[in-house]
Structure 1
Amino acid sequence: MNIYFAAPMFAKSEQIYNSYLVEKIRKQYPQLKIYLPQENDTINDKAAYADSKMIALADTKKVEESQLMIALLDGVTIDSGVASEIGIAYANHIPILGLYTDSRQQGADNQQKLEALGTVAENQFHYLNLYTVGLIKLNGQVYPSEEALLEGIQQFVTQGKVDE
């Protein structure tokens, strides 16, 4: 089974986390073939050259060849490349498992945090683009932790579908 791992990848911290999580998944599910774009030096060796069409064609082909996408949603906003990849997966009916670990989602039942929503510039929660999240939820699931994501992968591997 081919899996496309969509994630921001330009900061060293992003690359390290992506490698860490992909390696964790590969160890737990050695039968899965995970495409991590940062490992594709043909288009992602930033000391070399790849134009926009080369990058778009190469990554789109890999998305279309996959049976599942894992998409990292953390960051100030969802990474624009990740959002594009999610759109391609959705259009091709490829299930998507999103990982969103932002700690600001904690305390959803905290009355003070909820009341602060009515005050300008006091949102205690992080916002994700609802269109992009909707594309994921229409054909997948968003998980709040690595552990929950790994359980979602297990479910997909054994059942061939994502519980919504």
Structure 2
Amino acid sequence: MSYYVAHRLFAAHDRALAAYLAHELALKLGEDQVFLPFCDTDEEDLVADIKGRRLFELDRDRLRHIRALIAIIHGPSPDDGVCMEIGYAAARGVPVILLTTDFQDYSATPTGPRTVFPDPLLDTLATRIIRAPRLGTPTDLPGASHFADFAARNHAQIQLAVDACVDTALQLPVPADSAVPARTASAVYAEPSPYTSAHHELPGTGVRPGITVRRPTRFAATEPEAAARADWAAALSSDRIVVDACGPETPPGAALLIGASCATAQPVAAYLPRSTYTHASGREPNHRNLMIQYGVGHTLRSAEEVTAWIGP
């Protein structure tokens, strides 16, 4: 069982930070005990008929056999592929360490309760959060410019955070098998997008005879983390999940639930009426992050398709 380092693939600085973390972890455990996506799936050299799907399969197969997941995640729009991987690990009972260099807190209102991440579901699924909100001590190097000094302080901040991640990972117990929650027949969990109208109802999920539609409570709760735990339990115990994937990227809550559903073979569909396609060398056009596009069973393009998928 290896340690999986999850990170945003499409930014060089995130890949570099993830590689540094994987390297430091491998010094303690051996390279064969650490898995780094993009690097260990040989993305640039991989040749496959449907390359994006093959990359998804390689990462998913590794997620099935890991001892812990360490995810680099920061900013007001967390990477949807990383969130999918977090949801997958959490649903299987695998410890999750979240590393963030974001110094901001988040809340639904100016004076409301704060969380480390914009979606409190991330806070609740973390076994441990490693946070590096402060710069390192000024170096005061002779002859160094103030820009070089600022860079050194940031590097020191990252080094301390990585060291804390490695120490925490080495102390984690071996995960026990997590039982799949019993599911309620004719219950559908509907996750809206926070990027659209506040707390709106996901299109096509109105009152349905004979079907219980469960909805999240954490976005307007006075205790968002407790509500997030209840939302997670409600989603995983539902017969099916439908998420609104609208936004600049799939919202973190939707991505987390897609990962959980993928891990437990729970039917999941994504409402996405409009796509922005991405293109990469040797890869087919993709309408969402690979872990999202191939993790869902159905992509629904209209409210009518949502209604039909939920059923009578």
TM-score calculated relative to the size of structure 1: 0.71
Aligned-residue RMSD, C-alpha: 3.0
* Aligned partner of residue 104 in structure 1, secondary structure: coil
In structure 2, the partner of 1:141 is 128
Distance 1:12 1:149, change over 3 A: same
Distance 1:30 1:52, change over 3 A: closer
Displacement, 1:32? 6.2
In structure 1, the partner of 2:248 is none
* Aligned partner of residue 39 in structure 1, secondary structure: coil
2:171 aligned to 134, 155, 161, which one? Answer: 155
Task: Find runs of 4+ consecutive structure 1 residues off by over 6 angstroms.
Answer: none
**Contact 1:25 1:150 (C-alpha < 8 Å) held by counterparts:** yes
Q: Distance in 1 between matches of 2:31 and 2:60?
A: 23
Displacement, 1:61? 0.6
How many equivalent residue pairs?
Answer: 141
* Aligned partner of residue 98 in structure 1, secondary structure: strand
**Contact 1:78 1:129 (C-alpha < 8 Å) held by counterparts:** no
In structure 2, the partner of 1:15 is 15
Q: Which has the larger radius of gyration?
A: 2
**Contact 1:72 1:100 (C-alpha < 8 Å) held by counterparts:** yes
Displacement, 1:149? 1.6
* Aligned partner of residue 5 in structure 1, secondary structure: strand
1:21 corresponds to which letter in structure 2? L
Displacement, 1:117? 3.3
Higher helix share goes to which structure? Answer: 1
Unaligned runs of 5+ in 2: 132-160, 176-312
Displacement, 1:48? 5.5
Q: Residue by residue, what CA displacement relative to the aligned partner does 1:81-103 show, whole Å, maximum 9, x if unpaired?
A: 00001111112111111112213
Aligned residues with identical type, % of pairs: 20
In structure 2, the partner of 1:90 is 90
Displacement, 1:29? 2.9
Unaligned runs of 5+ in 1: 106-115, 119-124
Distance 1:76 1:46, change over 3 A: farther
* Aligned partner of residue 103 in structure 1, secondary structure: coil
1:59 corresponds to which letter in structure 2? D
1:142 corresponds to which letter in structure 2? I
In structure 2, the partner of 1:117 is 110
Q: Distance in 2 between matches of 1:31 and 1:126?
A: 31
